[in-house]
């Protein structure tokens, strides 16, 4: 069965410190992985997706099929990065049926 | 540039009452879905639709009904509200094209007393 696990409910770092938000998944196939972000009082929005291999707002994420992980990283955290982050999986077959992790709240302290 | 619009933003119901959460999108997306967001549980899929006249159940469908009479609208009905349905509800839509991202509404915060 498909499952997305984000082991950390809360991650607190100081401004300028590196950040890594963990995401592990289980899926019997080749899933597509995404990171979504929800800033305070805003709607969820797409941050990045693995197929694009892009860096958005300094964040990157590499899909590691061997470890079934898709960790989100940023070398130097900024206060404006404080938000709720969700890792999500969509199976290739399933009409964009997304499965979300439980989310990690990132708190960047000044 | 409205995107996905949800109404109402807030709602308080008494146990046993019914109501409909509205969702509309103006992006001509075939796929629409409803999620509930609960602390520590993330987003769980309630129902989804891949086009007008087609709906299917997600992970937590019990207590909710949906219909899709038009491409634009995908209302979520609570037939007899229960305290366990206290949550934040998000509507999301996307193209059914491969790897298309979800576009979310602003959410509806529902409290059932």
Nearest CA-CA partner of A10 in A86, A103, A109, A110 = A103
pLDDT score of A95: 62
Determine if the peptide bond prior to B8 is cis (ω within 30°): yes
Q: Is A40 on the interface with B (CB under 8 A)?
A: no
Nearest to B55 by CA among B43, B42, B41, B73: B73
| Residue-level pLDDT at B26 | 95
Q: Indicate the SS3 state at residue A81.
A: helix
- Tell me whether A99 touches chain B (CB under 8 Å): yes
Q: What is the per-residue pLDDT for A93?
A: 60
Euclidean distance between CA atoms A8 and B91, whole angstroms: 25
Q: Inform me whether the pLDDT recorded for A39 exceeds 80.
A: yes
pLDDT at A51 over 80: no
For residue B67, the distance in angstroms to the closest alpha carbon of chain A comes to 17
Residues of B within 8 A of A86 (CB-CB) are: 42-43
Name the burial class of residue B52, with classes exposed (0-12), middle (13-18) and buried (19+) by CB atoms within 10 angstroms of its CB.
Answer: middle
pLDDT digits 0-9 by tens, B56-112: 998 899 999 999 999 999 999 999 999 999 999 999 999 877 678 899 999 999 999
From the list B41, B95, B99, which residue is nearest A32 (CB)?
B99
Residues 6+ apart with CB under 8 A from A70: A23, A24, A25, A33, A35, A50, A61, A62, A63, A64, A87
The reply to whether residue A43 touches residue B90, judged by beta carbons under 8 angstroms, is yes
Confidence label for A92 from pLDDT (cuts 50, 70 and 90): low
Q: Mean of the pLDDT values across residues A15-39?
A: 92
Q: Taking residues A6-34, what's their average pLDDT? A: 92
- Report the SS3 class of residue A110: coil
């Amino acid at each position: 069965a498909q499952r997305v696990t984000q082991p950390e409910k809360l991650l607190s770092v100081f401004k300028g410190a590196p950040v890594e938000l963990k995401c592990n998944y289980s899926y019997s196939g080749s899933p597509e992985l995404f990171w979504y972000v929800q800033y305070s009082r805003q709607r969820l929005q797409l941050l990045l997706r693995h197929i694009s291999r892009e860096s958005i707002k300094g964040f990157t994420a590499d899909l590691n099929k061997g470890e079934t992980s898709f960790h989100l990283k940023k070398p130097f955290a900024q206060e404006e990065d404080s938000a709720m982050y969700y890792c999500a999986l969509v199976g290739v077959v399933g009409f964009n049926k997304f499965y979300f992790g439980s989310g990690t709240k990132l708190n960047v302290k000044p | 540039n409205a995107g996905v619009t949800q109404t109402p933003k807030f709602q308080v119901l008494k146990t046993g009452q019914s109501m409909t959460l509205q969702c509309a999108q103006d992006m001509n997306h075939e796929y629409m879905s409803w999620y509930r967001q609960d602390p520590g549980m993330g987003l769980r899929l309630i129902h989804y639709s891949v086009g007008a006249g087609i709906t299917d159940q997600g992970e937590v469908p019990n207590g909710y009904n949906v219909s899709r009479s038009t491409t634009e609208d995908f209302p979520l009905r609570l037939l007899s509200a229960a305290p366990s349905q206290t949550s934040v509800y998000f509507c999301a839509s996307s193209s059914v094209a491969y790897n298309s991202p979800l576009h979310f509404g602003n959410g509806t915060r529902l409290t059932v007393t």
